[in-house]
Amino acid sequence: MSDGSARARGPASPGRPGCPSPGLAIAFQPNPIEDERRQRMAHPNEEVARSATEALSKGDMEGFLGHHRDDVVVHFPGRGPMAGDYRGKNGVGEMFQKQMQMLDSPPQIETHDILANDDHAVVLNKVRGTRHGKTLEQQQVVVLHIKGGKIAEVWLQFSDQQAMDEMASS
């Protein structure tokens, strides 16, 4: 289906050589034809979301956090050990480190689409993680509130929050 939006596809490549934190490597392989179309038509907030996603996929935490405001807040849903609000760039970095300590291997994240308007960007992902040999795969929606070209607030949502909480608590 071609609707004019750019899509990232491909398997995750955790543990890439040269990646400072292998757990931060995610799949992001833009289609060259769609990439050209995206460059002509993309909303500026889509570019912010896409650039942050690309930096994260390369394990470039400094570049990733460079797309965030100093006072960014990330809302991680649920009742498990990851749940809560993470404040500031340091809090976001700590959130990723906490996640990596809980998982057997780096999570695999496949970005399906990024949608944007003047205030927000929405990133649609498929995520897969393994803890104690048990793998969980589900859909994830990341809503970004963007102010002045920087990510100010993030809301994460999972298709099965209860399963996410149970996995993180096991």
Q: Rounded to an integer, what distance in angstroms lies between the CA atom of residue 96 and that of residue 27?
A: 16
Indicate the number of domains in the chain.
1
Q: Does a structural domain hold residue 91? A: yes
- pLDDT per residue over 19-54, tens digit each? 445 555 554 555 666 666 556 678 999 999 999 988
In a structure prediction context, what are the per-residue pLDDT tens digits for the chain, which is 170 residues long? 444 444 444 444 444 444 445 555 554 555 666 666 556 678 999 999 999 988 877 778 899 999 999 999 999 999 999 999 999 999 999 998 898 899 998 788 888 999 999 999 999 989 899 999 999 999 999 999 999 999 999 999 999 999 999 999 98
Q: Does a structural domain hold residue 1? A: no
Q: Rounded to an integer, what distance in angstroms lies between the CA atom of residue 19 and that of residue 166?
A: 30
Q: Does a structural domain hold residue 8? A: no
Q: Does a structural domain hold residue 127? A: yes
- pLDDT per residue over 104-113, tens digit each? 987 888 889 9
Q: Does a structural domain hold residue 65? A: yes
Q: Does a structural domain hold residue 119? A: yes
**Do the Cβ atoms of 49 and 65 come closer than 8 Å?**
no
Q: Does a structural domain hold residue 48? A: yes
In this prediction, residue 13 carries a pLDDT of 43
In this prediction, residue 32 carries a pLDDT of 65
Q: Which pTM value belongs to this model?
A: 0.75
Q: What is the mean pLDDT of the chain?
A: 83
What range does the domain containing 106 cover? 22-169
Q: Does a structural domain hold residue 5? A: no
User: What CATH number is attached to the domain comprising 96?
Assistant: 3.10.450.50
Burial tier of 11 (Cβ tally within 10 Å: 0-12, 13-18, 19+): exposed
Q: What are phi and psi of 64, to 5 degrees?
A: -60, -50
